[in-house]
Structure 1
Amino acid sequence: MNISMLLEMAADGFGNRTVVGRTEDGLTPVRLRALAAGGAELVRAADADAIVYLAVNGPAFPAALFAAAHAGVPLVPVNYRLGAQQLDALLSNHPRAVSIADPEQHEALRRAGVRSVRSPDEWLTAASDSADEATDPIESDAAAVLIYTSGTTSAPKGVVLSRHNLVSYVLGTVEFAGAQEDEAALMSVPPYHIAAVSNVLTNLYSGRRVLTLEQFTPERWLELVRAQRITNAMVVPTMLARIMDTDGLDRSVPSLRALAYGGAKMPVRVIETALREWPHVDFVNAYGLTETSSTISVLGPQDHRDALESEDPQVRARIGSAGLPVPGIELEVRDEEDAVLGAGESGQIWVRGEQVSGQYAGQGATVDERGFFHTRDQGRIDAAGYLYIEGRADDTIIRGAENIAPAEIEDVLLRQPDVLDAVVVGVPDEEWGQRIEAVVVTRHGVQLDAEALRTTVRQTLRGSKTPDRITYWPELPRTATGKLVRRDIVAALRTENPSPTR
């Protein structure tokens, strides 16, 4: 199955409906199909084996995605925020690619030996000039997309997603032409994130117009929602927190019907505030990975409302869960010996399904003999089937031979009304192996007593899970998609060389 099939269906089913950009000058499926054919001609003329996309999000991104599919080569969206050394290393893997890049990135591509470099506008113009709608897409077993992971804990790896993976995800989660003609989605994630790829495909397949906001601010996001009458949006938790926590904002969003969030842990305080601020909005928590073609579990709108209103502690707790598996997905939680654990037991999350790749460039597939992929996330599944994420396995703190999940401590800190953000990490310690350190961001103008916070953690959990030290920072280092860069936090804390307090 080729993702070009999704574009063909859209062009035949609602070809003159605007699906990318503003209503007045956006792209229709018919126009997108022509750009895909023209872009494929550019790829073939250059004898290229990939399209590298090194630019901000915009109309050229979906045009490049379908041009790559049409030409039978992968699209490689690359993080334009990388430093020169890391960027050079990634680009050197693709010397035969053609590239779409913002002008400030052209020199890096030339250093890597990439021959054909165009800006997004130049690509769209060249694809228009080369467009030939009679050209059929190439059926190929080549990857559809190669996405480099964020590398927040290690060097980036190239995740290979096949056409079959992506089409399986779309067909399993979206109804064809299910969106009304007035629906518009706002995306606020960069093109090198799996959510950008999946949302191009799902919104096109459903018939929903999609816009992008590359440089997020709460004010700009709210203004665009109102101006373009956005009905559906996706944000990362830090964005929703800034919308809810910034004083003096006009938060009215009369057109907004649904808001999805994911990519990092959502503080319960933030989502509860948003539910009360926008009671007419359907909230969805989507959990997934690049290796799984995006979402594998969803906490739906009614789950959110039930959790907010229920007196049952188990139901209330679900607001902090990742919900139930999407169709076609099987989940298991296993212990370190690979045994499947029962309901409520914490372990490592494994996933199986047609949308799951689990394949890395140069490494091949990493699924086990039963086809399950190890997510390397810690979690548990309750008796009703709801999935709870407890952090990355690599984030586990080992203090005095006891395994401690940072997420458990972070949850306690984030429940405090004046704590806007918090992270807990393990820092090397000669006596304990690792000591527990927390970094907290407080509401502007508020000073919190560190010893009082430590006492709160001790009373809620226990002494061995109490941070040895709490430090206050103005903000935490996060990627553009909201993930904490824990290695930078640990490095900064190590340079301070504290004397642990107990």
Structure 2
Amino acid sequence: MMEQFECPFSLYGRKAPNRVALTSAEKKWTYQECERLIVGTASLLKKQGVKKGDRVALLPTKEFPSPLIFFALFRLGAIACPLNTYDPLTLLPEKLDRLGAPLLLFPDGTALPKMKQITLHFSKVIHKGKPSGQTFLEKKALATYLFTSGTTGKAKIACHSLGNHYYSALGSNRYLPIGAEDRYQLSLPLYHIAGIALLFRTFLAGGAVAFSEEGITHLSLVPTQLKRLLDKETLPNYKHILLGGAPISPTLYQEARGRGLPIHPTYGMTEMSSQITSLFDESPLSMGHPLPYREIKIGTGGEIWVRGKALFQGYLDEGLPLNSEGYFETGDLGTYCPKQGLQISGRKDRLFISGGENIYPEEIERLLQSIEGITYAEVVPTPDEEFGFRPTAYIESDQGYEEEALKSYLEDFLPRFKIPIAFLASSDGFEKRRLSPKW
């Protein structure tokens, strides 16, 4: 039994049948109702030929019935392969070929391109059935294939087991408890690890996933979403807010704390099934400490290494790349001490060279984001005949700024070659890089 766990819909469908599992502004679904839908959907998919180990692609929404389709696939031992709904639909045939997925499930009303794979509307597969007792899931079974955002080159496909998602959720819930009456808003997409992790955390704890803002107690946000939340005059009484996906500026962190928001800065990634470390107290700003079932180590050159039960199964067709000590090398740079927690200093692969000098953009970005009013900063290399590359900064600000004042400020902390040659608004011919939630 150690290699299995009872599906939360089976568990709470028996023990707390009237407890709410899903909620929208118009309707609520109990665990018992969801269990019936999962059983029926799994039965219908089985009749369509879906079996253990099959890869089934889907275009998930942040609405009913997307969460239930995931668990119907898990019941069959099939692998859920959620796809980015913002990518051009013309790319679907290529993605399904890469996944080796013969079936695509998609929301009603979506105009798909011509493809050789079988396609089914959500309304054609969601179906009520009759539960037949306890249902257990195998921890070792492959559960999801996720396209990673990728910093360079072709995106990889990360493979996770049910056990990876299970232990990721248990470790998070140890410090971020979710109760029967709690509501976790589905604020992040289900084609990212952060959205899937949110489902496992909530359902394993017996709480409810919410499709609307009504009655929300728990949230997962990226800094841009937090900034929008702070623009509201009145804020709900949240219990916990996980914050990750991108660096948070000290000013934004302090503003959120000052407004009484219980935010928890978090470091994570797809390869570790979401969260790795989180800050769960009011210590000075850091990424916090490793959660249960995770280990971190600062390795060669300051690179963050990770391992544990939340570590994924590897990349499709590439395997699991571990170093000689059994760690996954993240490519992130940082420091860690038990008192202050994890501090992220940059990424190895964003390094560029200017006049023979190494420049890590994150070092400059953190300083810019510490300036009051600047909510986002990104530093990129600009080709230069003399130096090879020079740094240029793109920023978002709530107020005006003087370029010379910014340069003067940075000169107190940085050598001249690291001072950006220009400071531009992010809308000035530049599309801000979309940062995928990784935690």
Answering whether residue 61 of structure 2 is matched by residue 56 of structure 1, we say yes
Shift of 1:386: 1.0
Q: What per-residue deviation string (whole Å, max 9, x for no partner) do you get for residues 144-185 of structure 1?
A: 011111235332211000122122222333259964333212
Query: Is the Cα–Cα contact under 8 Å of residues 56 and 101 in structure 2 kept in the other structure?
Result: no
Instruction: Determine the C-alpha separation between the residues in 2 that align with 1:97 and 1:141.
Output: 23
For residue 327 of structure 1, what is the aligned residue in structure 2?
292
Query: Is the Cα–Cα contact under 8 Å of residues 37 and 135 in structure 1 kept in the other structure?
Result: no
Q: What per-residue deviation string (whole Å, max 9, x for no partner) do you get for residues 331-377 of structure 1?
A: 111225xxxxxxxxxx2111010110150111111122432111111
Instruction: Determine the C-alpha separation between the residues in 2 that align with 1:334 and 1:178.
Output: 32
For residue 32 of structure 1, what is the aligned residue in structure 2?
34
Query: Is the Cα–Cα contact under 8 Å of residues 358 and 373 in structure 1 kept in the other structure?
Result: no
For residue 41 of structure 1, what is the aligned residue in structure 2?
43
Matched residue of 2:7: which SS? helix
User: 1:473 is matched with which residue: 408, 426, 430?
Assistant: 426
For residue 282 of structure 2, what is the aligned residue in structure 1?
302
Per the alignment, do residues 270 and 140 of structure 1 end up closer, same or farther by CA in structure 2, a change over 3 Å counting?
closer
Answering whether residue 219 of structure 2 is matched by residue 237 of structure 1, we say no
Matched residue of 1:20: which SS? strand
Report matched runs for 1:179-194 at 5 Å: 179-194=178-193
Query: Is the Cα–Cα contact under 8 Å of residues 189 and 480 in structure 1 kept in the other structure?
Result: no
- Name stretches of at least 5 consecutive residues in structure 2 with no aligned partner: none
Per the alignment, do residues 414 and 179 of structure 1 end up closer, same or farther by CA in structure 2, a change over 3 Å counting?
closer
Query: Is the Cα–Cα contact under 8 Å of residues 382 and 390 in structure 2 kept in the other structure?
Result: yes
Answering whether residue 97 of structure 2 is matched by residue 92 of structure 1, we say yes
Shift of 1:287: 1.5
Query: Is the Cα–Cα contact under 8 Å of residues 60 and 191 in structure 2 kept in the other structure?
Result: no
For residue 22 of structure 2, what is the aligned residue in structure 1?
20
For residue 351 of structure 1, what is the aligned residue in structure 2?
306
Answering whether residue 355 of structure 2 is matched by residue 400 of structure 1, we say yes
Q: What per-residue deviation string (whole Å, max 9, x for no partner) do you get for residues 19-52 of structure 1?
A: 2114873222222222222222223222232332
For residue 196 of structure 2, what is the aligned residue in structure 1?
197
Report matched runs for 1:447-462 at 5 Å: 447-462=400-415
Per the alignment, do residues 85 and 401 of structure 1 end up closer, same or farther by CA in structure 2, a change over 3 Å counting?
farther
Per the alignment, do residues 151 and 81 of structure 1 end up closer, same or farther by CA in structure 2, a change over 3 Å counting?
farther
Instruction: Determine the C-alpha separation between the residues in 2 that align with 1:139 and 1:207.
Output: 19
Read off the aligned partner of 2:361 and give its amino acid letter.
Answer: P
Per the alignment, do residues 73 and 27 of structure 1 end up closer, same or farther by CA in structure 2, a change over 3 Å counting?
same
Read off the aligned partner of 2:291 and give its amino acid letter.
Answer: V
For residue 258 of structure 1, what is the aligned residue in structure 2?
240
Instruction: Determine the C-alpha separation between the residues in 2 that align with 1:388 and 1:78.
Output: 32
Answering whether residue 56 of structure 2 is matched by residue 101 of structure 1, we say no
Query: Is the Cα–Cα contact under 8 Å of residues 183 and 230 in structure 1 kept in the other structure?
Result: yes
Shift of 1:69: 1.0
For residue 249 of structure 2, what is the aligned residue in structure 1?
267
Per the alignment, do residues 13 and 433 of structure 1 end up closer, same or farther by CA in structure 2, a change over 3 Å counting?
farther
Answering whether residue 14 of structure 2 is matched by residue 9 of structure 1, we say no
- Structure having the higher helix fraction is 1
Per the alignment, do residues 282 and 176 of structure 1 end up closer, same or farther by CA in structure 2, a change over 3 Å counting?
closer
Instruction: Determine the C-alpha separation between the residues in 1 that align with 2:90 and 2:121.
Output: 22
Answering whether residue 356 of structure 2 is matched by residue 376 of structure 1, we say no
Report matched runs for 1:276-287 at 5 Å: 276-278=258-260, 281-287=261-267
User: 2:268 is matched with which residue: 274, 283, 288?
Assistant: 288
For residue 322 of structure 2, what is the aligned residue in structure 1?
367
Answering whether residue 20 of structure 2 is matched by residue 67 of structure 1, we say no
CA-atom RMSD in angstroms:
2.7
- Name stretches of at least 5 consecutive residues in structure 1 with no aligned partner: 214-223, 308-318, 337-346, 484-502
Matched residue of 2:21: which SS? coil
Read off the aligned partner of 1:256 and give its amino acid letter.
Answer: Y
Query: Is the Cα–Cα contact under 8 Å of residues 237 and 264 in structure 1 kept in the other structure?
Result: yes
- Structure having the higher strand fraction is 2
Query: Is the Cα–Cα contact under 8 Å of residues 59 and 85 in structure 2 kept in the other structure?
Result: yes
Query: Is the Cα–Cα contact under 8 Å of residues 303 and 334 in structure 2 kept in the other structure?
Result: yes
Instruction: Determine the C-alpha separation between the residues in 1 that align with 2:176 and 2:396.
Output: 44
Per the alignment, do residues 357 and 476 of structure 1 end up closer, same or farther by CA in structure 2, a change over 3 Å counting?
same
Query: Is the Cα–Cα contact under 8 Å of residues 304 and 334 in structure 2 kept in the other structure?
Result: yes
Matched residue of 1:349: which SS? strand
Shift of 1:294: 0.9
Read off the aligned partner of 2:354 and give its amino acid letter.
Answer: R
Shift of 1:15: 3.0
TM-score w.r.t. length of structure 2: 0.89
Instruction: Determine the C-alpha separation between the residues in 2 that align with 1:156 and 1:42.
Output: 32
Matched residue of 1:364: which SS? coil
Shift of 1:71: 0.4
For residue 118 of structure 2, what is the aligned residue in structure 1?
115
**Higher RCO structure (Cα 8 Å, ≥6 apart):** 2
Shift of 1:61: 2.0
Instruction: Determine the C-alpha separation between the residues in 2 that align with 1:7 and 1:434.
Output: 55
Read off the aligned partner of 1:274 and give its amino acid letter.
Answer: A
Query: Is the Cα–Cα contact under 8 Å of residues 176 and 205 in structure 1 kept in the other structure?
Result: no
Matched residue of 2:282: which SS? helix
Matched residue of 1:92: which SS? helix
Instruction: Determine the C-alpha separation between the residues in 2 that align with 1:478 and 1:190.
Output: 17
Per the alignment, do residues 177 and 322 of structure 1 end up closer, same or farther by CA in structure 2, a change over 3 Å counting?
closer
Report matched runs for 1:86-235 at 5 Å: 86-94=91-99, 96-103=101-108, 105-108=110-113, 110-111=114-115, 113-119=116-122, 121-124=123-126, 127-128=127-128, 130-133=129-132, 139=138, 141-174=140-173, 179-212=178-211, 224=213, 228-235=214-221
Instruction: Determine the C-alpha separation between the residues in 2 that align with 1:290 and 1:428.
Output: 32
Q: What per-residue deviation string (whole Å, max 9, x for no partner) do you get for residues 195-233 of structure 1?
A: 1111111111112211135xxxxxxxxxx3xxx221111
Q: What per-residue deviation string (whole Å, max 9, x for no partner) do you get for residues 248-272 of structure 1?
A: x32232x322211111111111111
Identity %, equivalent residues: 25
Shift of 1:448: 1.9
Read off the aligned partner of 1:252 and give its amino acid letter.
Answer: L
Per the alignment, do residues 173 and 135 of structure 1 end up closer, same or farther by CA in structure 2, a change over 3 Å counting?
closer
